[in-house]
Each structure stands twice: as structure tokens, then as C-alpha cells.
């Protein structure tokens, strides 16, 4: 049997939920799961340097094929030694295929059975992504885990449209994986197919069952966080997870709020990513153990307390809410750095606590302690 590029090891399963603690073995180190992956779309997690990410304990980050294809170009990244050398990042990297970004640029793209024709949002130049070329680009980038090209549907949509999209996603996954395996016969790269099917449980289950035939290194759940209610998103994970193999990692793409992470883990998810920690930070929304804090509010004008009194990060250890509010209202770039550092730390710490609770067998108790309010509502 050909050696897998990544290997997943289940260390402990929660006796009360579908959660499990695991170890994801990659060419650039071992990642403890469940894990949150900071999003470095353009090859950088916004407002944070790589040494900050290492200090925070990040073991894997995400980069995006679409954006790196547009700028600086995958050929340049390959010339510079691949993403790890280009980014000066020693740990694991996962690359998304760009399907979601193309979905979000609906006015600039055309989808057919062969792939996607789209125009750059920067200069209007035309590009053509196929299931094969999407993985060729990721091969040039040199990521540890690569995603197949998929079609993400808008919400809401009809069952008929969702089925057509799901069928296309399955065909693309077959084509892409076969191509990647031909390109790396001795040690094929780690490629995850993506379960689609919009918000229809029957399509989600059918898609998952058909993708199982590919015997992939891991499986992703895509097409969520596109405007559907939170409860529906969780239902789609439940419909999918029960079919996916227990000995492979499950990656839920693009979710979610800090308080929601545990809900996805309890439903069997091992890997997650989301832009919210850094995006919300830049907009003045800070995640704390007591809920979200909106720093611009007048009540924090002379508040000497840290953002979160239970957080040991460098932002909370040194700076007051009053000072951070001043930086935010002044448009000072330092605010984005300090707030992003805190928010990413909050996400990484939340997953570390969740993992520890799985190991100890008390995950439900921990989940019940999480707040769903903003600090200002308490």
C-alpha cells in the first residue's frame, strides 16, 4: 500500500458526543486535533507575523489558491522554494482550492463541467481553473494538505440546483484526485475532497457516500457559513459526519464564532478555519471567555481592565480596554495587531481546552460553560 502523505491517529473519543482528540501527522510536524487553523489567505495572517503565530502555538495555517494564483503567482512561489520557504513558516500549511472565493465573485466567473473561467478581481485578466489545474497550482505552492476544486452553492437554493452542483463536485473530486495520484505515484500528496449538497441532508449524505469511494486522506465539509441559520449548519454536519470514516480527519470549512467551535467538535469535526478572529479584531470586536466585547463603546473609555481578565496573552497582560479603545478610535494600526493577537489566541486556546476536556471525558460540562452573549449584554 502506498504511504499516505498525512496520517491521522485518534487518541481519545468522547463518551458523550462524537468528538475525538487526535494527532495529524504531516510532513511539517504533528498537529494536535481538534484544531483551529488561522487564515493566511494571501500567505499572511492579517496583522500577525509568523513569529507571533509560533508564539501563539499555531501548528497549521491556511492559504488560498485563488488569491496566490492572482498574486504573486504560483510560479513565483515555486521558484522561491514553495510556501514554507516563501512564508518562512516551518509548520504545516493547508491550501484551499479557491472554490469559495470563485463562488463569492459570481459576477466575474462562469462555471461549466470542465471547471471555472473567471476574471481577476485585481486586473480583469482571465483564468481557467480545472480540477486538475487547481491541484497543479497547489503542488507548485507545496502545501501539506490540498483541497479539490468544488462548487459552492448560494443559500437558499433549490434541491435541483443543489443536486447538479453536488454531482459536479463529485466528478471534479474524482478527476482531481486521480490526477494528483498520477503526478505523485510514489507518495501521492494529501488531497481532501469536499462534501457539498447545500442545506439538504439527503444530498449531503449521498455526496459523502460517493466520496468515500476515493479513499482520501481526509474529508472536508464545505458550503457552510453562506447565510444559513446556525442550527441548519450544525444539522448538515451531523448528516455528513455519520457517514465519513472515523479514521480520517474531518475538516469543516469556514466556521465559525468562538462559542460555536465546541458544537462542531461535538459533532465529530477535527479541523476548522475562519477569518472571524482577525476580521472582527480589525473591526473592534474582541472575543473573551465571557462573550464578545465591542471596544468602541463609551463604557470602556476609562476602563483599566484588560480585554479578558482570564487571558494571559501579551495584549491582556499589558494593555487596558481604555487604551485599546483609544487606538481603535484613532485608526491606529497597532490596534489591529494587538486585537488580532488576542482573538487568535482566544480561538487557539478554546480548541486546546476542548481537546483537554475530550481527553478527560468532560466535554459536555465545558461546552455548557461557554457564553453566547456579548459582554455588553451581561
- The catalytic residues are 96, 273
If we measure between CA atoms, which residue out of 181, 205, 183 comes closest to residue 195? 205
Q: CB within 8 A of 323, min separation 6: which ones?
A: none
Angstrom distance (rounded) from CA 57 to CA 218: 23
Grid cell listed for 308: 479578558
Q: CB within 8 A of 220, min separation 6: which ones?
A: 147, 192, 193, 194, 195, 250, 251, 252, 253
Tell me whether strands 285-288 and 291-294 are parallel, antiparallel or unpaired.
antiparallel
Helix (H, G, I), strand (E, B) or coil at 43: coil
Question: Rounded to an integer, what is the distance from CA 143 to the centroid of its chain?
Answer: 15
Q: CB within 8 A of 124, min separation 6: which ones?
A: none
Amino acid at each position: 500500500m502506498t504511504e499516505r502523505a498525512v496520517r491521522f491517529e485518534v487518541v481519545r473519543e468522547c463518551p458523550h458526543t462524537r468528538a475525538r482528540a487526535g494527532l495529524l501527522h504531516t510532513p511539517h510536524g504533528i498537529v494536535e486535533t481538534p484544531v483551529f487553523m488561522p487564515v493566511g489567505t494571501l500567505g499572511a495572517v492579517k496583522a500577525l507575523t509568523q513569529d507571533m503565530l509560533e508564539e501563539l502555538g499555531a501548528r497549521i495555517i491556511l492559504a488560498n489558491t485563488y488569491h496566490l494564483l492572482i498574486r504573486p503567482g504560483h510560479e513565483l512561489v515555486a521558484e522561491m522554494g514553495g510556501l514554507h520557504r516563501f512564508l518562512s513558516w516551518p509548520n504545516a500549511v493547508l491550501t484551499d482550492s479557491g472554490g469559495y472565493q470563485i463562488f463569492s465573485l459570481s459576477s466575474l466567473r462562469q462555471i461549466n463541467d470542465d471547471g471555472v473561467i473567471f476574471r481577476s478581481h485585481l486586473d480583469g485578466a482571465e483564468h481557467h481553473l480545472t480540477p486538475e489545474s487547481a491541484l497543479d497550482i497547489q503542488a507548485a505552492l507545496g502545501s501539506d494538505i490540498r483541497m479539490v476544486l468544488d462548487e459552492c452553492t448560494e443559500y437558499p437554493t433549490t434541491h435541483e440546483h443543489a443536486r447538479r452542483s453536488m454531482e459536479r463536485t463529485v466528478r471534479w473530486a474524482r478527476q482531481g484526485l486521480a490526477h494528483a495520484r498520477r503526478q505523485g505515484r510514489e507518495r501521492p500528496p494529501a488531497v481532501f475532497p469536499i462534501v457539498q449538497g447545500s442545506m439538504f441532508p439527503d444530498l449531503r449524505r449521498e455526496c459523502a457516500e460517493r466520496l468515500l469511494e476515493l479513499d482520501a486522506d481526509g474529508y472536508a465539509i464545505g458550503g457552510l457559513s453562506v447565510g444559513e441559520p446556525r442550527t441548519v449548519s450544525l444539522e448538515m454536519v451531523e448528516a455528513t459526519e455519520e457517514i465519513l470514516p472515523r479514521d480520517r480527519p474531518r475538516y469543516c470549512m469556514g466556521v465559525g464564532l468562538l462559542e460555536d467551535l465546541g458544537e462542531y467538535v461535538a459533532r465529530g469535526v477535527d479541523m476548522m478555519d475562519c477569518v472571524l478572529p482577525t476580521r472582527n479584531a480589525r473591526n473592534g470586536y474582541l472575543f473573551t471567555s465571557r462573550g464578545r466585547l465591542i471596544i468602541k463603546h463609551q463604557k470602556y473609555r476609562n476602563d483599566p481592565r484588560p480585554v479578558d481578565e482570564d487571558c494571559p496573552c501579551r495584549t491582556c497582560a499589558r494593555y487596558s480596554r481604555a487604551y485599546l479603545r483609544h487606538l481603535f478610535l484613532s485608526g491606529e494600526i497597532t490596534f489591529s495587531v494587538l486585537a488580532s493577537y488576542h482573538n487568535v489566541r482566544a480561538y487557539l486556546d478554546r480548541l486546546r481546552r476542548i481537546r483537554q476536556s475530550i481527553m478527560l471525558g468532560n466535554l459536555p460540562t465545558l461546552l455548557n460553560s461557554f457564553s453566547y452573549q456579548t459582554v455588553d449584554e451581561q
